[in-house]
């Protein structure tokens, strides 16, 4: 697989990564099977998807434990990214950026992942009660201690809100980035980017490119919608995050079918093996050499299919057709 470089530290990864969250959290609990997830990780590594993305919150903790098992004997094949700073409360998520907590959380992640070093340690969310410079400083100390190789900042939840008002949803993220850059270099930013959520292209992706910062594209397949495998009205399990998401109502899924239809038309021009998912990922890859899509999956076959998107070369005509697709409908809040 094509290799791409993340950040000033020149960390090399496969052009398509693997999001591990669905293996143990947020999506279709009945399909979360440990042994199949292990095979999925191995299939991704074999296909060249070396960047494995997780977080201590996923589960919580069970996703890191799973990766620790999966990487026994294969740690050298993987680029391991995990996150800190977000906890599950009784009814909502709670940020914790206190330096002492960050240090303890890193040690706990290292134990669960069964590794001596985390390749990329990301701040999952900034704590509004703690200056972000203090949190980032504690993370920088982990680099000096040899526990972490590089630092990143996650802005996964902010790609869609406020788009209706015309405001840039990433303005706050950019301000945070400019503050922490004064403390220690940012190697990567993770935020949503896909055909139906292109908001990061407005300022955040260019900001990263201009500064040599890698951009990890979260949810590049629109939480499964852009694969064309979801049917309007099919319903989701109660604990599936999409069951409560405005864009995944039967009405909105039906209204957004023209987006998938357009991806199918482009895929058809590239042969029988091309899929809407591959086209969606190839589109993300075309947004810059510093961009690495991180599609999540829990099935080996889909991990291999996603990795294959790195070889799909979209033409100018393909890109023009995708650009002409109607914007996705429905709130993304």
Per the CB < 8 A criterion, the answer to whether 84 and 105 are in contact is yes
Residue with tokens 């890698």: 214
The 10 Å CB-count burial string (b at 16+, else e) for 231-266 is: eeeeebeeebebeebebbbeebbebbeebbebbeeb
DSSP state of 1: -
DSSP state of 219: S
Separation CA 26–CA 219 (nearest Å): 13
Is there a catalytic annotation at residue 58?
yes
Separation CA 292–CA 218 (nearest Å): 9
Per the CB < 8 A criterion, the answer to whether 332 and 161 are in contact is yes
Q: Is the peptide bond before 60 cis (omega within 30 degrees of 0)?
A: yes
Separation CA 192–CA 320 (nearest Å): 22
Separation CA 281–CA 3 (nearest Å): 15
Which residues are the active-site residues?
A: 58
């Amino acid at each position: 697989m094509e290799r791409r470089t993340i950040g000033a530290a020149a960390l090399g990864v496969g052009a398509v990564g693997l999001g591990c969250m669905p293996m143990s959290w947020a999506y279709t609990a009945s399909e979360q099977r440990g042994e199949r997830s292990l095979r999925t990780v191995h299939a991704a590594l074999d296909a060249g998807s070396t960047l494995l993305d997780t977080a201590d919150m996923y589960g919580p903790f069970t996703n890191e434990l799973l990766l620790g098992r999966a990487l026994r004997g294969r740690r050298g094949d993987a680029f391991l990214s995990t996150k800190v700073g977000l906890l599950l409360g009784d009814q909502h998520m709670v940020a914790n950026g206190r330096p002492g907590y960050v240090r303890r959380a890193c040690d706990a992640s290292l134990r669960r992942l069964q590794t001596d070093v985390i390749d990329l340690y990301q701040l999952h969310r900034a704590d509004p009660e703690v200056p972000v410079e203090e949190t980032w400083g504690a993370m920088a100390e982990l680099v000096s201690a040899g526990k972490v190789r590089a630092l990143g900042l996650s802005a996964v939840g902010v790609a869609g809100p406020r788009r209706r008002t015309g405001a840039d949803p990433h303005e706050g993220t950019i301000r945070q980035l400019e503050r922490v850059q004064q403390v220690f270099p940012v190697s990567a930013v993770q935020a949503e980017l896909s055909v139906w959520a292109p908001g990061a292209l407005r300022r955040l992706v260019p900001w990263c490119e201009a500064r040599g910062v890698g951009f990890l594209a979260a949810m590049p397949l629109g939480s499964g919608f852009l694969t064309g495998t979801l049917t309007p009205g099919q319903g989701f399990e109660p604990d599936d995050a999409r069951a409560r998401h405005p864009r995944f109502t039967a009405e909105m899924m039906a209204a957004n079918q023209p987006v998938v239809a357009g991806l199918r038309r482009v895929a058809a021009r590239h042969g029988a093996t091309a899929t809407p998912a591959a086209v969606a990922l190839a589109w993300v890859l075309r947004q810059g050499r510093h961009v690495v899509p991180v599609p999540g999956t829990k099935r080996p076959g889909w991990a291999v299919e996603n990795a294959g998107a790195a070889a799909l070369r979209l033409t100018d005509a393909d890109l023009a057709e995708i650009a002409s697709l109607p914007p996705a409908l429905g709130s993304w809040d």
